[in-house]
Each structure stands twice: as structure tokens, then as C-alpha cells.
Structure 1
Amino acid sequence: MADVATLVEQARAGRPRSVARLISLVEGASPQLREVMATLAPLTGGAYVVGLTGSPGVGKSTSTSALVTAYRKRGKRVGVLAVDPSSPFSGGALLGDRVRMGEHTSDPGVYIRSMATRGHLGGLAWAAPQAIRVLDAAGCEVVLVETVGVGQSEVEIAAQADTSVVLLAPGMGDGIQAAKAGILEIGDVYVVNKADRDGADATARELNHMLGLGESRGPSDWRPPIVKTVAARGEGIEEVVEALEKHRAWMEEHGVLADRRRRRAAQEIENIALTALRQRIGDLSGDQRLDALADSVVRGTSDPYSAADELIAGLTSA
């Protein structure tokens, strides 16, 4: 069994192996997970969490790597969670973004971790919230969360990030995809990457038009900016960072940041509670109480909703 207090102390001292072990405890749903989270709790709240999402091929990994470079130039410690599709064989991360961000692997001020979705819809690994907390407690001032890029269910990133960045690229039908996926509702900053390609200006104009449709923002409301970049050459990345900093300042001024973090915590608590309930219900398979309730439904002396209420009452009072 790992010594959690020692691991946390070493993680805060910047030892990547200890950070890795803590995240592995999270991913593996270790019996020590509760102790890990309790130890980390008073050490969190300092990291600015930025989510990057968009269709496959828009350059998310390249953009993430360029943002790491920009933040490191500003002296920030950066954590990266690159959430990949799961390997159908090992269950591990399939794409391995650490390979594509190799230039940062020797930098002690950067921690990069690929995480597998393990079949979880929405583009995020189920363990991502706890992994973000580990990086926060380990002293990362900025945490970049790059999602799978699976399309319409990609909007889950908005529930995990302080600021959501939506990437698009010209010539990929991203305008239509954006409207279909509902990402026009979740983006705080929009980036048209690969802006050296034909159609970049048209993509930005179309996006600006769609953002204005049905818009009912007040004078003090945030209007998502559109930034054009060529991430492979680092062009426009400083403008993206400036847009992120402006959004953070706006959220702090209007109390939006605290509200988002409160909602994020509430969602996390709910997910943990639902998972625990599912496990307890799963443990009832073949149990006499469940069989008796099923018999009453079959006989018509009870209905499924009443039986479910009785089951929940028994579980919560046990």
C-alpha cells in the first residue's frame, strides 16, 4: 500500500513519479482513493483549468503543446491531461499524446498524462475530475485538458473546465458540425487553427455569424472571441493566452468562476453518489429482496416505480 501523505508531499515538491502514482490510484479506483482525496482537499483550488475540444484533425494536441510553451514562458507550472480513446485490448490510452508533446517531457515544470476514456461517453475519462485535483494540489498553476474529439458528446468538457476552448479548422465542415454538436453553447474562446489554409477567414466569419444568431447578451456579458492560429508554427498562440486571461479576469469580476467551480463540485459529488448506489444495487443481484420485488411486479401487486422506491429506501436506510 502506498503512503498517501508521502506521495502528496513528494508530488508538491515536483516529483513526477509521485504525481503519476497518485493519478494511477485515481484511475484504478484504489481503496486508498478516499484517503488521497481527503489529503488533497485543503491543497486545491489554485489551478486554472482550461478545456480544449473540437473535431478530430483540428490540431488539438499541437495547440495544447503550443499553449504549454506559451505558459512556460510566463513562468507557469503546467499540467496536461490528454484524454484518449481506450485501447480495446488493454483499456489504456490509445493515441498517447505524450509522444506528440515530446518537447516538454524533460521540463520539470510540465506534467503530461494520457488518460483513457474506457468507454465513457462525452470525451472525458471518468477519473478526470480527480486527476485535475491531483495536478492542482501538485502545484500546477494551469491545467490543460485535451479531450478525445468524438463529436456531439464533446460538450462534457464544459462541466470540467473553468474556460472551454473550441477549436475548428477550415475545410472540415466544422461550421455545420459546431451547430450540430451544440458546442456553440459551451465555448468561451473559439480558435480557428490552420489559419494559413484557404477558407480560414470564411470559417471565422461563419462562426461569428452563428455566435450572433439569437444572441441576447447584455453589455457586461462575455462575448466569446475568435482567434486565428497556426499552432504548428506558434502563430496566434499568445493571442489565445491573452483571450484566456481576459476570460478568467471577467469570471472573477462577475463571480462566474466561483459558481462554475461550485457546480463542478456538485456534479462530482452526484456522480460519486450514483456510482456508489449502482454498486450497491449490483451487489443485490440474486438477493431475496430484489427477487421478491420482481415477483410482486410480475404478479401485478406492485409496479416497477413503487418497487424501485422500496429498493432505494432499503438501500439508503441500510
Structure 2
Amino acid sequence: MSRYVPSSELVERAARGEVPAIGRLISRAEAGMPEARGALATIYRRAGRAHVIGLTGVPGSGKSTLVAALTARLRTQGLKVGIVAVDPSSPYSGGAILGDRIRMSDLVNDPGVYIRSMATRGAMGGLARATLDAVDILDLGGFDTIIIETVGVGQDEVEIAKASHTTVVVSAPGLGDEIQAIKAGMLEIADIHVVSKCDRSDANRTLVDIKQMLTLGAATSAKPEWQTPVVGVSSYTGDGFDALTRAIDRHRDVAFGTASGSRRQLAIARFRLEKTAENLLVERFARAAVTRAPALAERLRRRDADPYSLANELLAASFERGSAHERDHHRPPHFAEDHW
């Protein structure tokens, strides 16, 4: 068993682009290790240069294949690309099922590409809990563009729009995505609409439908400095990717150089703040529930008290001696270094 390397010692190694250090820091962030929080705070203050692209869409729209083709195109421009692929969780191990990495196997040996699969582990909204920590770590590691591919989302799982500078919504012919967009708000969150699988004969119909919906919503658009383009691509033939990369480049200029871009960055910061606070509250609550919930549940079973007063008591217990308890949790665990 090798020595546990403190997270603070991994920061400079990650900044030099050392893949093992990047991987360990992401693993510790994903595990929610309190010992790593000081290092993550340092990383956050040093990050902020990368262009974060969120890519989402319904299952079956070809997101992973599109990410692989887009990454290959970005690499021809000399950009280092980090990919955080949010996968469904295994019901047995809790880990990512890794379907995305299988589809991106052609990129694995490229030193300018880093792919990390991340399990949702019950998180809603299409993102995993540590997704944005992983983005910061890759940003520090020198990756110019970071693509977050969400788990296949439905009608209201649109957190990616609050976590990325540029949101790409992927549709495909024959999936009914135009109806989903009307019902879901997927139309509104897109900075760029992509219709994949445009080598199919029915693709033009989907392109026309989405353009018509965008025209109907133009009067109420909250993006006066940007007109959302609709780009048809085919990962099979390679058609459309020049237009897609040009649209991404143009939107990067909007995201980093306009008033609406500044407002978007403020919204991202607020989302990050609230999600981090929510995670900390959940951790405190879980620790208190382990010791206090059984006795409170017994009182509830006997109907000695009502659920609201007992729930308030459990919440109050979450903050009792919280700081001292959390200091204990900052001690590094006794794990093998090759795991963490």
C-alpha cells in the first residue's frame, strides 16, 4: 500500500497536465471527500479560462458519436479537449455504465484528449454531482475546451444550461424531438441546435420543424445578441461539422465578450453556489440521520409527535457541533494511493 498523497500536493501536478493527478482529484471530488475541498477551492480560483460546452438531447439522438466527431475536429485546430461524459449509474456498483467511452474509443490514445465518465448516482437534471469540479480540474490542467455530455434528458432536466457557456441541443430525425422541444423548454435552452444523422432522408423535415419553432419564439427570445442557428451534421459522412465549429466559435465570442455573456456567467456562478450549498446540507443531514433518525422514527410510529416537528428536530440536529464534526472528516482516509 503506497502513501496517500494529500490533495493539496496534487494541484501543481494537475496544473502541469499530469493525467494521474487529474484523475485522482476528479475521483476525490466525485467521492465528496472533505479532505479535497481545500484543493478544489484553490483550483476554482485558478481556473476559468476554458470554454465549457454543454451537449444534451434525448436518448438516441447520437450525442456520444457527435462528441467524438466534434472533438476530432477541434483537435485539428490544436485545441486540447476535455470530455466529462455523464452516464447512467449501475444499479449494483453505483458506477458509470461507460457506454459513452466505448463510442469514443478512437480518442483514447490522443494525449490532447481527456475523457472521464461520471455516474449520475441519483442526481437529477442530467448532471453528476461533481461535474463542475471536474470541469475546474480539467481547466487547470490546460484543456482549452471542455465538453459536458449529459445523460439523455427528458422534458425538465435542463441544468446543463446553467453550467455551460454554450449549450448545444441535439435532435435526430424520427424521434419526435420537435414535439419534445415544444413541451420541454429544450428549445429555449439551446444556443445551438444540432440535427444529427443528416445522412438520413427524413432529416430535412426535422431541420425545417426546428427552424419554424425558433421563428415562432423569436419575439420572446431572451438572447438579443445571438440568433440560435440550426446545424445539420452527419457523424457518418462528416458533413456539417465545419458549420458547427464555426457556430461554437462565434458563440464563444458572445459568451466571453458581451453583456449577455457576463449575465450568463453570473447565472452559472449562482447555480454553482446553490448546488454546492445543497450538497453540503445533504451531507450534514445524512450524518445526523444516521444517529438521530431511528429514535425519531420510533416516536413517529408511536404517534408521540407529528412528522413536521420531528423533521424540524432532525434538521436542527444536522447543525449541532457541525464544524467540529466536519474537522474530523478532513483527516485523510487510509486508502491505497493507486485508488485515489
TM-score over 0.5 (shorter chain): yes
C-alpha displacement of 1:146: 0.7
- Which of 1 and 2 has higher RCO (CA within 8 Å, sep 6+)? 2
Change (3 A) 1:233 1:18: farther
Question: Structure 1 CA distance, aligned partners of 2:45 and 2:276?
Answer: 19
C-alpha displacement of 1:273: 1.8
Is the aligned partner of 1:232 residue 2:275? no
Change (3 A) 1:308 1:161: same
Aligned length: 313
Is the aligned partner of 1:54 residue 2:57? yes
Is the aligned partner of 1:17 residue 2:20? yes
Question: Structure 1 CA distance, aligned partners of 2:24 and 2:311?
Answer: 43
Equivalent AA in structure 2 for residue 197 of structure 1: R
Find the counterpart in structure 2 of residue 123 from structure 1.
126
Provide the aligned C-alpha RMSD in A: 2.7
Match of 2:168 among 155, 165, 170: 165
* TM-score using structure 2 length: 0.83
Find the counterpart in structure 1 of residue 262 from structure 2.
258
Find the counterpart in structure 1 of residue 204 from structure 2.
201
Find the counterpart in structure 2 of residue 276 from structure 1.
280
Question: Structure 2 CA distance, aligned partners of 1:27 and 1:263?
Answer: 23
Map 1:74-113; keep pairs closer than 5 Å. 74-113=77-116
C-alpha displacement of 1:274: 2.4
Change (3 A) 1:6 1:315: closer
Equivalent AA in structure 2 for residue 145 of structure 1: I
C-alpha displacement of 1:165: 0.3
Tell me, what secondary structure is at the counterpart of 1:157? helix
Q: Is the 8 A contact 1:62 1:232 kept in 2?
A: no
1:13-34 CA distance string (max 9 Å, x none): 2222221111101111113221
Q: Is the 8 A contact 1:168 1:192 kept in 2?
A: yes
Equivalent AA in structure 2 for residue 178 of structure 1: A
Q: Is the 8 A contact 1:53 1:154 kept in 2?
A: no
Extract unaligned runs of 5+ from structure 2.
323-340
C-alpha displacement of 1:156: 1.4
Is the aligned partner of 1:243 residue 2:250? no
**Identity across aligned pairs (percent)?**
42
C-alpha displacement of 1:144: 0.5
Question: Structure 1 CA distance, aligned partners of 2:90 and 2:318?
Answer: 39
Question: Structure 2 CA distance, aligned partners of 1:228 and 1:105?
Answer: 26
Find the counterpart in structure 1 of residue 147 from structure 2.
144
Find the counterpart in structure 2 of residue 180 from structure 1.
183
Tell me, what secondary structure is at the counterpart of 1:227? strand
Find the counterpart in structure 1 of residue 42 from structure 2.
39
Question: Structure 2 CA distance, aligned partners of 1:314 and 1:67?
Answer: 46
Equivalent AA in structure 2 for residue 263 of structure 1: A
Extract unaligned runs of 5+ from structure 1.
none
